Amino acid sequence: MHIVLYKPDIPQNTAAIIRLGACLNLKVHIIEPCGFNLNDKRFNRVVMDYMNYTKIFRYEDYSMFLKKNKKSRIILMTTKAKKIYYKFKFKKNDMLLFGRESAGVPENLHQSIKNKAKIPMNKSARSLNVAMSVAIISAEALRQNKLLK
């Protein structure tokens, strides 16, 4: 299972997602540019030594990510999706794409991705923290594919 972060803004969220990846055996893909340096002390405080326990792939931009993952199914996690995540049928090698904390993904990217899922929320709330969203979606995708041990 793969987690894809589109131009993440907040070092602590990215670090928490990498820790989650290490604990749940998820591969983490980061589409640059990040809104921070991976040497940031806030990032390092949260990630600790978990960078050594997961596979992390970095791409200079979205087109490079697509080029390297041509055959993969990309699922965009977005509040604009019609399908609720637990009704979505995840596959073992899906690329679960999460937008940047400040702006999600650009509209052209949103329109180019066929598969989308959302976490149902209170109508007055804008969005969940991205690290929480990754944990919720990942747990369901792993459960569906019997990858939790």
Per-residue confidence (pLDDT) for residue 45, from 0 to 100? 78
- Whether 32 shows a pLDDT value over 80: the answer reads yes
Looking at residue 54, what DSSP letter applies? S
Contact predicate 12/46, CB 8 Å:
yes
122 vs 136: CA distance, rounded Å = 16
- Whether 49 shows a pLDDT value over 90: the answer reads no
Per-residue confidence (pLDDT) for residue 44, from 0 to 100? 75
Q: Which residue has the tokens 């149902």?
A: 120
> Average pLDDT of 15-43?
89
Contact predicate 131/20, CB 8 Å:
yes
61-112 confidence digits (pLDDT tens)? 999 999 999 999 999 999 999 999 999 999 999 999 999 988 899 999 999 9
CA 146 to chain centre: 20
Average pLDDT, the chain: 92
Show the domains of the chain with their CATH numbers: 2-144 (3.40.1280.10)
> Average pLDDT of 122-126?
88
Order of all β-strands in the sheet with 2-6: 56-59, 27-31, 2-6, 95-98, 74-77, 115-117
> Average pLDDT of 43-52?
79
